Amino acid sequence: MRNQGRKRKPAPADHKCSPAKLTRKDTVINLTTNDPFPNHHSPTAEECRAVRDDLLAFHGFPQQFAKYRQQRLNLVSVTSSCHEESVLDGLVSTILSQNTTDANSQKAFALLKSDFPNWEDVLAADSKSIENAIRCGGLAPTKASCIKNMLSCLLEKRGKLCLEYLRDLSIDEIKTELSQFKGIGPKTVACVLMFNIQQDDFPVDTHVFQIAKAIGWVPTEADTKRTYLHLNRRIPNELKFDLNCLLFTHGKACRACIKKEDNHQKKENGSCPLLNYLKKT
C-alpha cells in the first residue's frame, strides 16, 4: 500500500493567486546578498566605467531610453504631471516585450491601450479579445494569460489595479511583491525596477548575458540568474542604468564581440569598441 494515511492538503480557494503556487524556486528572484562567484573579481568599478565610456563614445546614449534617463537625472516626483508611465503600464509593457522586437511590442501595447482604455477593461475582457489586441507582439495566448492573471491577483490583493505603492518599498520588497505574480520573472522585475521605479538594478537579457561572458565579467559556467546576482553585486549603482542600456543596445547592433571564433581573429578584423575587453581564448 502506497502513502496510506497521508492526506493531501486541500487546494487553496484561488490557486492562481496562491503564494505557495507563485513562489516556486524557478520563479522567485533569489534575494540573497551573497555573490554566486565570490572569487571572480570582474568587473571592477574601473572596468565598468571604461566599458560605459567606450560604448557611450561609440553609440551615444540610446534614444529609446532617453526619457527614463531624464526622469532619473531630474529625480521626477511620482506626483509630477510629467511622469509619463505608471508602474503597471511599465510592467505590462515589459511583459509584451518578451521574445519580440521593440517595434512589435510597442505596437502591441498601443493596440491594447486603444482597445481597452483602462486596466479594469482588460481584466473584464475575455482572453481571446486580449490576444487579438496584442497578437502582433507574438506569444499572444501566453502573454494575455499572464497579464489577465496578474491583474486578477493584484485586484484581489490590493483592491485596485495600481502598483504605485511599490515606489515606497525597498528593492527586495518590490522583488518579493512582483515575483508573486505567475509568469513575472527576474528580468521583468529588474526592468520595472530600473525603468519605472528609478531604482538601481541591472537586468540581464540575452544581449547583456552574452557580452558579460565574452568579456569575462562572469565565469564560463554562469547562467543568467547567477549573472544577474553577480553583476548587481559588482557594478556600482551609479553606473548600472547607463551601462545596462548601452550593453543592450550594443548587443543588438554588434554581433562581432560575441561570435564564437578566435578572439585574436576578431580583434584583427573588427571595429567593435569591446574587442579589446575580450577575454583570452
Catalytic residue positions, numbered: 187
Dist CA 173 CA 168 (whole Å): 10
- Count of residues making up the chain: 281
Q: How far is CA 224 from CA 4, 36, 218, 254, 272, in A?
A: 42, 12, 10, 20, 24
Q: Is 155 left (phi over 0), alpha (psi -120 to 50) or beta?
A: alpha
Query: Residue holding cell 548575458?
Result: 209
Around 62, how many Cα atoms within 13 Å sit in the side-chain half-sphere?
18
Collapsing DSSP to helix, strand or coil, 62 comes out as: coil
DSSP state of 190: H
